[in-house]
């Protein structure tokens, strides 16, 4: 009887892990689609502006990049939402910081 309950709990957690992993993969895929669309659309906008409004001199104007900049900010927020702070700080940063603070606290209490 206990083995059945343990097996059910184990299957339940495995199913939960699968659902979370599937959701994470879907969000990562969504980010990469967003990135691909960002690159294609902004490339088309910049090239069409250059060909229609006075040639390559527009590359030095702020207005040529406004859409790219503001959409890029949104894309950066999307990246943080999908990858979290691990994207910048690394996966083990939090553990290292906790250990560092605990060691510092131990040193301070013994001095």
pLDDT by residue, tens only, the chain of 111 residues: 555 555 555 667 888 888 988 999 999 999 999 999 999 999 998 888 877 766 667 677 777 788 899 999 999 999 988 888 666 666 677 778 788 888 877 776 655
Whether the Cβ atoms of residue 36 and residue 71 lie closer than 8 Å to each other = no
Distance separating alpha carbons of residues 85 and 91, to the nearest angstrom: 8
Rg (CA), the chain: 24
Could you state, in order of their start, the residue ranges of all structural domains in the chain? 25-85
Whether the Cβ atoms of residue 66 and residue 57 lie closer than 8 Å to each other = no
pLDDT at 111: 52
pTM over 0.85: no
Distance separating alpha carbons of residues 41 and 33, to the nearest angstrom: 12
pLDDT at 72: 95
* Cα distance between the two ends of the chain: 55
Whether the Cβ atoms of residue 50 and residue 59 lie closer than 8 Å to each other = yes
């Amino acid at each position: 009887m206990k083995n059945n309950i343990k097996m059910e709990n184990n299957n339940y957690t495995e199913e939960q892990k699968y659902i979370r992993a599937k959701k994470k993969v879907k969000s990562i895929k969504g980010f990469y689609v967003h990135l691909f669309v960002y690159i294609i659309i902004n490339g088309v906008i910049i090239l069409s502006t250059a060909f229609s409004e006075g040639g390559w001199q527009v590359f030095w104007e702020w207005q040529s990049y406004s859409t790219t900049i503001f959409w890029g900010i949104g894309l950066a927020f999307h990246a943080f939402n999908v990858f979290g702070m691990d994207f910048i700080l690394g996966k083990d940063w939090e553990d290292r910081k906790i250990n560092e603070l605990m060691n510092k606290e131990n040193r301070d209490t013994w001095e």
